[in-house]
């Protein structure tokens, strides 16, 4: 008996794969409410194994009546840790934006999802009648969400003003000068914790080199912390 997801034994050829687009329901969480005082809308993308309703709590420092924080949840959920049918009822659940399996299809699905969510939220914002200047839109990715938000910027159509890459790096397929065109048009900030085991000096140096090679302007913010958020940096970014 082979394990679930294992290739067939004996070198037998796999069956033909097909794709069928279906409708499914996505989940997202928010802090704040659209209204005349609104100045900013933040789309914040969680990391691997997180859920939106918990992730959005990291942005409580920005919930002051002038900002709407929108946390989309990745479309694929799974049980965290090694579980079986007898223990899964008590296992924690997380979500992931994608795996290496059928990756291009998953990227296309979540880019369309994020574009649709942006359009839905901004229509609600417009209906609420914000006063004053145009509402600023900011996209932030954390950890796995960094690659996700970069692919959204690269492949999507939602208009954004600013981009924040927190505790993560660019996906490898964003490489050519044309790939970086939309990044050059955004106000870009990179945030790394000084004690983040993912943000090693080599990785940060590689990220900066890629951006500099394509003439992408950015600012790098370091804080005294690990793979986590910092309220002071969030307030600084919010301006």
pLDDT in tens, 12-26: 777 899 998 888 899
pLDDT in tens, 21-76: 888 899 999 999 999 999 999 999 999 999 999 999 999 999 999 999 999 999 99
Residue 121 pLDDT more than 60? yes
Range from 28-42, 74-88, 201-215 carrying the lowest mean pLDDT: 74-88
Model confidence band, residue 91 (pLDDT cutoffs 50, 70, 90) = confident
Distance CA 157, CA 33 (A): 24
The closest alpha carbon to 140, from 229, 206, 211, belongs to: 229
Q: Where are the beta strands (DSSP E) in the chain?
A: 28-31, 40-45, 67-72, 76-79, 93-96, 136-142, 162-166, 187-193, 219-223
Q: Provide the whole-model pTM.
A: 0.90
pLDDT in tens, 141-173: 999 999 999 999 999 999 999 999 999 999 999
CA atoms within 13 A on the CB side of 166: 24
């Amino acid at each position: 008996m082979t394990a679930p997801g294992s290739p067939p034994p004996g070198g037998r050829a796999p069956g033909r794969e097909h794709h069928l687009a279906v409708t499914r329901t996505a989940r997202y969480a928010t802090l704040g409410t659209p209204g005349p005082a609104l100045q900013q809308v933040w789309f914040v993308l969680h990391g691997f194994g997180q859920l939106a309703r918990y992730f959005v709590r990291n942005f409580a420092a920005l919930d002051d009546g002038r900002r709407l924080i929108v946390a989309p949840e990745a479309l694929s959920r799974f049980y965290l840790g090694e579980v079986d049918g007898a223990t899964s009822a008590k296992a924690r659940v997380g979500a992931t934006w994608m795996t290496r399996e059928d990756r291009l299809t998953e990227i296309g699905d979540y880019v369309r999802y994020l574009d649709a969510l942006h359009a839905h939220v901004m229509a609600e914002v417009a209906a609420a009648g914000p006063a004053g200047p145009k509402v600023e839109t900011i996209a932030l990715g954390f950890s796995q969400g960094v690659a996700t938000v970069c692919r959204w910027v690269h492949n999507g159509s939602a208009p954004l003003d600013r981009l924040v890459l927190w505790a993560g790096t660019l996906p490898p397929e964003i490489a050519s000068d044309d790939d970086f065109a939309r990044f050059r048009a955004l106000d870009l900030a990179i945030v790394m914790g000084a004690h983040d085991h993912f943000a090693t000096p080599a990785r940060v140096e590689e990220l900066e080199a890629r951006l500099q090679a394509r003439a992408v302007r950015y600012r790098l913010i370091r804080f005294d912390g690990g793979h986590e958020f910092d309220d002071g940096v969030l307030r600084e970014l919010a301006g």
